[in-house]
Amino acid sequence: MTENKNQYEYHVPVMLQECLDGLDINPDGVYVDLTFGGGGHARAIFEQLSVKGKLIVFDQDEDAKKNAWDAPNFHFVASNFSFLKNQLRMLGIKAVDGILADLGVSSHQFNEPERGFSIRADEYLDMRMNQRSGDSAYDVVNTYDEDQLATILGKYGEVKSPRRIAQKIVLKRQASPIRTTGELVAVLSELAPKFKENRFFAQVFQAIRIEVNDEMGVLEDMLEQTASVLRPGGRLVVMSYHSLEDRLVKNYIKSGNFKGKINKDFFGNVLRPLSGVTRKPLVASEEEIERNSRARSAKLRIAERNEGE
């Protein structure tokens, strides 16, 4: 395995040791990293595996494939993780011992201005994780009607006065399309709360990015599939970076559904495929946050596959 010197420049792995501990790795087991990125978490998992163990990694971003390595027990899958079950079946794998998902946008994607994720640049409004398909942020900003924009801004950005922001965007694009991140920031500037401008811009960008990539939909699809591919006793480790993601993960672990509604059998046993290993989510230490500011908002939840569910 060739060491990639740029590994941590691409994306610094958050709560690395906590993720490894959460997976409770069996050296001969089969593990899946659903968000390969720079390979930081994946390399650490791989180093704990024997030649009998296997690591399968997923990433739909073409840039991530450059960080893959050659090994008979390592497989890179160029796919969205919502196709988890089908892709594993194609590899002849029916059950796995552990699954890791580090959600959100990688440092690399934020730092590549042409991807259109960052408020700090003036580049084409793209924001697609997979640049080969789907509508871009440009399409959302310039074709969604006022109601649609207000809905996603309120739901995914959790901004105040989403209708006002939507009206401003629609009014501006009537004169000329909003083509770049810089142009969108300029439109939003008049509405940004004083001294909280960057947070406001980030919330709006987050809402558009989530819509572009259907992040909530693919997360739900993935979580439901983990229950059917994990062996009994297998571990699911999920790291989220905003409350919308964390709520879905929390509810699914708690109840087996996304509304958090508890269902019980005749004997009063909770019907759910997973059980939480930790009562509360793990968070990064102050030392790690100092080294890597992205860790500040991270919440790590660990679950175990129940027997016979």
Asked if residue 56 lies in contact with residue 91, where contact means CB atoms within 8 angstroms, the answer is: yes
- For the chain, what's the residue count? 309
Q: Residue 42: left if φ>0, alpha if ψ -120 to 50, beta else—which one?
A: alpha
Q: Is 102 flagged in the annotation as binding?
A: yes
Q: Is the dihedral of CA 256, 257, 259, 264 positive or negative?
A: negative
81 marked among binding-site residues: yes
The span from the CA of 150 to the CA of 141, in Å, is: 11
Helix (H) or strand (E) holding 275, with range, is strand 274-276
- Inter-residue contact 34 to 84 (CB < 8 Å): yes
Contact between residue 237 and residue 22 where contact means Cβ atoms under 8 Å apart: yes
11 in a labelled binding site = no
- CA atoms of 63 and 128, how far apart (whole Å): 13
Q: What angle do CA 286, 59, 43 make, to 5 degrees?
A: 55
Q: Which amino acid is at 195?
A: F
Check the annotation: does 59 bind a ligand: yes
- 256 is known to lie in a ligand binding site: no
Cross-strand partners of 305:
274
41 is in an annotated binding site: yes
Q: Which residues sit in the known binding site for S-adenosyl-L-methionine?
A: 39-41, 59, 81, 102, 109
Q: Which residues sit in the known binding site?
A: 39-41, 59, 81, 102, 109
